[in-house]
Amino acid sequence: MALIVGGALKRVRNNESYYDFEVEKVLEEKIKDYPKRKEVLIEELKSLVKQGVEEYKKGEIKFRF
């Protein structure tokens, strides 16, 4: 999910973390209409989060560990 939403993967090399943006470039090359598909997925995620927050506020769902 981090790749889709943020466009990069967090990696660690020599105890230092960094974001690798090269992975998304490969996806753009290999997946037809990647930018559009990414946009659609992000909109779906926003909708699911909004729905979940509303249901939580109404007490329809409860948070559990």
Q: Is residue 12 part of a domain?
A: yes
Q: Is residue 63 part of a domain?
A: no
Q: What is the Cα–Cα distance from 8 to 21, expressed in whole angstroms? A: 5
Q: Is residue 35 part of a domain?
A: yes
Q: What is the Cα–Cα distance from 48 to 26, expressed in whole angstroms? A: 28
Q: Is residue 16 part of a domain?
A: yes
Q: What is the Cα–Cα distance from 13 to 8, expressed in whole angstroms? A: 15
Domain count, the chain: 1
Task: Print the domain residue range for 30.
Answer: 2-57
Looking at every residue in the chain, the average pLDDT score rounds to: 90
- pTM to 2 decimals? 0.70
Residues 31-54: pLDDT tens digits?
999 999 999 999 999 999 999 999
Q: Is residue 64 part of a domain?
A: no
Q: Is residue 51 part of a domain?
A: yes
Q: What is the Cα–Cα distance from 4 to 55, expressed in whole angstroms? A: 25
Q: Is residue 62 part of a domain?
A: no
H or E, element range at 35: helix 34-57
